[in-house]
Amino acid sequence: MSTSFERVSRFSVGYDMREVDEFLSRARTAYEGRDPAFSGGDITAASFGTERGGYDMRVVDEALDRLSDAFALQARDDAVAEHGEETWVAQLTERAEVLKERLERPAGDRFSPAAQGEPAYDKGDVDALCDQLVAYFTDGHPMSVDDVRRAAFSRRRGPDGYREAVVDVYLDHVADVMASVP
């Protein structure tokens, strides 16, 4: 993966180039050397400072998604090599079932409500994505990992919305399961 990304104009704000380059260098080393201290979770949790004239955020985010997919597939290949495909499929199915349990909750109750005044995601928007995920997990409805990663929700404040961090972590797990399937 190249660490030379398209830059925004010097009047616009993009990701800090040095931080992005250092992170991707570390990720490349981990991927090539199979460093167990670095995982796909590190990619999902990555955040960068900003600077004028920095890297285009959309382009970097798309590259991080591809890198996350590569780590997920590498983890799958390692698990299949170590324990066999049948065991890997069973483990992936178990992870998907755990994720599906939350989806089976009633709309409006799938995630924790935000505290008073806390920024939150609109429950209806999140529940609409969850309904699509139910169809994906139960009926094989076509859906891509990018549909989950690129989901955008209206903002709310307080208990009228779901806590953002809880939804984000859950969707990261969903994306990881989806990316693990070739």
Q: Give me the pLDDT at residue 2, please.
A: 47
Q: Give me the pLDDT at residue 29, please.
A: 87
Q: Give me the pLDDT at residue 127, please.
A: 97
Q: Give me the pLDDT at residue 136, please.
A: 92
Q: Give me the pLDDT at residue 159, please.
A: 87
b or e along 102-141 (b: 16 or more beta carbons within 10 Å of the residue's beta carbon)? bbeeeeeebbebbeeeeebbebebbbebbebbeebbeeee
Q: Give me the pLDDT at residue 8, please.
A: 93
Q: Give me the pLDDT at residue 56, please.
A: 95
Cβ atoms 15, 50 nearer than 8 A: yes
Across the chain, which has 182 residues, the per-10-residue mean pLDDT values are 78 95 90 78 87 94 87 84 89 88 94 91 96 92 91 91 92 88 72
